[in-house]
Amino acid sequence: MSSGIRATVRFSSLSACPLAVASTVSESAIEQVSTSAALSGENGSVTEFLADGDSGTICDACAEAGAQVEPVFEYGTATLFRLEHGEEERCPCESLGRHGCPVHRYVAADGELTLVFHASSFELLQEIMGEFRESYAPVDVQRLLQPPLDGTPEERVFVNRGTLTDRQYEVLSVAFERGYFDRPKQANATELADELGITQSTFTEHLMAAHRKLLADIID
């Protein structure tokens, strides 16, 4: 039996996805998401997510997008919202549910949605990506991994490279390519800063900011 493929894909324009809408309205990232499967003979599955911001504003914005979201609990400045899915598909998550593909992680930020999900075969993945491009374009494949993967499921974390600014990614890439992280070093901070046309302190600031963002995903 095929071990399947784990895919990481990003959608940059989802007007009907409540997670994308809520992230835009709240101007914050949404990463704490859970989805329950419906029992046989009962209504659709339920998605719950935690978002900052005014709950009424988020509910109104989701309603305008065609999604009925209800606040459940408040945790300080954040609110837990609940969405009951119907038969009509409005977002990629619901399409994956129809195909029986479990979602390992959701990340919504600035109106963009990143999904990490598992497809049982490459053929199924191709079919899903075809539907995504037809219904939810633009969509970008960030990463494809074929198990078995090293480590426990808890150790196989998703690193959200999209949290880096263009400049942070450029500095990190140049440092890696020039051997800044090698032992012994193949290049120093002064040389790389000159190559990038920035000061050494700015180079170090961008590099440390990139480290913090990526390590936050790994160590969380």
Do 143 and 70 lie in a common domain?
Answer: yes
Average confidence score pLDDT of the chain: 84
**Residue 114 bridge partners (DSSP):** 10, 107
Do 141 and 210 lie in a common domain?
Answer: no
pLDDT of residue 220: 60
Mean pLDDT value across residues 144-165: 67
pLDDT band for position 39 (cuts 50, 70, 90): very low
Residue whose tokens read 């700015």: 202
Mean pLDDT value across residues 124-153: 81
Q: Does a structural domain hold residue 156? A: no
Longest CA pairwise span in the chain (Å): 66
Do 25 and 113 lie in a common domain?
Answer: yes
CA atoms within 13 A on the CB side of 181: 10
pLDDT of residue 36: 66
- 41 burial class (0-12, 13-18, 19+ CB within 10 angstroms)? exposed
Do 54 and 93 lie in a common domain?
Answer: yes
Do 111 and 10 lie in a common domain?
Answer: yes
Q: Does a structural domain hold residue 123? A: yes
pLDDT of residue 35: 76
148 pLDDT exceeds 70? no
Percent of the chain scoring above 70 in pLDDT? 87
d(CA 129, CA 125): 6
Domain stop point among 150, 180, 202: 150
CA atoms within 13 A on the CB side of 199: 3
Do 72 and 18 lie in a common domain?
Answer: yes
Do 79 and 19 lie in a common domain?
Answer: yes
d(CA 74, CA 59): 14
Domain membership of residue 117 as a residue range? 5-150
DSSP state of 157: P
- 98 burial class (0-12, 13-18, 19+ CB within 10 angstroms)? exposed
Number of domains forming the structure of the chain? 2
Lowest model confidence (mean pLDDT) among 117-121, 137-141, 183-187, 213-217? 213-217
pLDDT band for position 9 (cuts 50, 70, 90): very high
d(CA 57, CA 53): 8
Do 93 and 166 lie in a common domain?
Answer: no
Domain stop point among 119, 150, 181: 150
Do 144 and 171 lie in a common domain?
Answer: no
CA angle 211, 164, 48 (to 5 degrees): 100
Strands (E), 63-219: 69-75, 78-84, 103-109, 112-119, 139-145
Q: Does a structural domain hold residue 155? A: no
48: tokens are 């719950």
Non-local (6+) Cβ contacts of 193 within 8 A are 199, 200, 202, 203
Do 115 and 206 lie in a common domain?
Answer: no
pLDDT band for position 1 (cuts 50, 70, 90): very low
Cα 17 from chain centroid (whole Å): 13
Mean pLDDT value across residues 108-127: 88
Do 99 and 34 lie in a common domain?
Answer: yes
**Residue 73 bridge partners (DSSP):** 80
Mean pLDDT value across residues 21-26: 90
Q: Does a structural domain hold residue 144? A: yes
Contact 49, 22 (CB under 8 A): yes
2 pLDDT exceeds 70? no
12 pLDDT exceeds 80? yes
Please confirm whether the linkage preceding 92 is cis (ω < 30° from 0): no
Domain stop point among 123, 150, 177: 150
| 48-83 tens-digit pLDDT | 899 998 899 999 999 988 888 999 988 888 899 998
| 158-215 tens-digit pLDDT | 666 777 888 999 999 999 999 999 988 899 999 999 999 999 999 999 999 999 888 8
Do 138 and 33 lie in a common domain?
Answer: yes
pLDDT of residue 189: 93
